[in-house]
Amino acid sequence: MCLAIPAKVLEVQGDVAKVDFGQEVVRDVNVMLVEAPVGEYVLVHAGYAIHVVDQEAAEETLRLWEEILKYDEG
């Protein structure tokens, strides 16, 4: 099973963007496969942004992930 997680683009320099996955998790990802302007959300898989998604869908997915992680902690 492959997972792609949404993240908000904070800044872009060439083919690398700094993205925010929420809960203070910020990482650099490769954006050579998509047009990823600052402020947009992208789906990230294996260090690559693979698709641009709208804000509503991204935030809903992040909310669901947060619920899953809280449930897993017990």
What per-residue confidence (pLDDT) applies to 45? 97
The pLDDT, as a whole number, for residue 36 is: 92
**Per-residue model confidence (pLDDT) at position 74:** 62
Contacts 24+ apart (CB under 8 A), 37-40: 37/9, 37/12, 38/9, 38/10, 38/11, 38/12, 39/8, 39/9, 40/8, 40/9
Task: Check residue 23 and give its pLDDT.
Answer: 81
Please give the chain's pLDDT, 74 residues, in tens: 678 999 999 999 999 999 999 888 999 999 999 999 999 999 999 999 999 999 999 999 888 888 888 876 66
Cα of first residue to Cα of last residue in the chain, in angstroms, is 24
Domain ranges of the chain: 5-73
- The reported pTM is 0.85
CATH of domain 5-73: 2.30.30.140
Residue 33 backbone phi and psi in degrees, to 5: -90, -10
